[in-house]
């Protein structure tokens, strides 16, 4: 029976220095399942808005959306760092494994949270909440993670003082990179 590859260190644990891998060991790693990916550290900020950017979300909706997003991330074995719900948009900071399509995770977060809002007990049957189709995603390094998380946690203050970080608020069709130059 082949020896099982070592499991990745728990998130936040000290990671040992990387050592060169022999070609034989690389071939063995290629046969490993996706679940045993040896090392990854990715940080994403995702933002999306309500349909027509209407300010329709209240505190009760925010709690439902937060719970739904965290459950969705957990189902993908992703690590939520922050979820912030504003009346007209949502911010999520998470670490999402590279063996999962980011677009699938975002689609599920949006779909599950809209479903949760539309199917709450005592919800008027006439309510038909939805998100706009677009979303924005930024990757960032571990060194700025605490700043991005703090921004999400106090975003109401940023919006009230008219000092939002424009890069973290872009939900679609903004300036897109056209080449690697």
Model confidence pLDDT, tens digit, residues 165-177: 555 555 555 555 4
Q: Give the residues across from 139 on adjacent strands.
A: 44
DSSP assignment, residue 13? S
Superfamily of segment(s) 44-169: Transposase IS200-like (3.30.70.1290)
DSSP assignment, residue 25? H
> Cβ-count burial of 170 within 10 angstroms (0-12 exposed, 13-18 middle, 19+ buried)?
middle
Helix (H, G, I), strand (E, B) or coil at 136: strand
> Cβ-count burial of 113 within 10 angstroms (0-12 exposed, 13-18 middle, 19+ buried)?
buried
Of 41-45, 91-95, 99-103, 168-172, the least confident? 168-172
pTM: 0.70
Q: Taking a C-beta distance cutoff of 8 angstroms, is the pair 132, 75 a contact?
A: no
**Which residues touch 6 (CB under 8 Å, ≥6 apart)?**
38
Q: Closest Cα partner for 91 from 128, 58, 138, 40? A: 138
- Residue 97: how many other CB atoms lie within 10 Å: 16
Q: Give 59-99 as a DSSP string.
A: HHHHHHHHHHHHHHHHHTT-EEEEEEE-SSEEEEEEE--TT
pLDDT at 172: 59
pLDDT-derived band at 142 (thresholds 50, 70, 90) equals very high
The CA distance from 152 to 148, in Å, is: 6
pLDDT at 121: 79
């Amino acid at each position: 029976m082949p020896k099982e590859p070592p499991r990745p260190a728990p998130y936040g644990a000290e990671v040992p220095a990387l050592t060169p891998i022999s070609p034989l060991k690389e071939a063995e790693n290629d046969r490993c399942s996706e679940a045993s990916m040896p090392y990854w550290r990715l940080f994403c900020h995702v933002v999306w808005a309500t349909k027509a950017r209407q300010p329709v979300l209240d505190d009760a909706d925010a709690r439902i959306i937060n719970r739904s997003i965290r459950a969705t991330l957990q189902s993908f074995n992703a690590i939520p760092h922050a979820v912030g719900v504003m009346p007209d948009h949502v911010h999520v900071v998470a670490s999402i494994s590279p063996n999962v399509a980011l677009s699938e995770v975002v689609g599920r977060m949006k779909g599950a949270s809209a479903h949760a809002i539309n199917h709450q007990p005592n919800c008027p049957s006439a309510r038909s909440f939805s998100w706009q189709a677009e979303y924005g995603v930024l990757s960032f390094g571990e060194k700025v993670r605490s700043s991005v998380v703090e921004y999400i946690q106090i975003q109401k203050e940023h919006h009230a003082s008219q000092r939002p970080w424009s890069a973290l608020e872009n939900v679609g069709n903004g300036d897109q990179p056209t080449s690697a130059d």
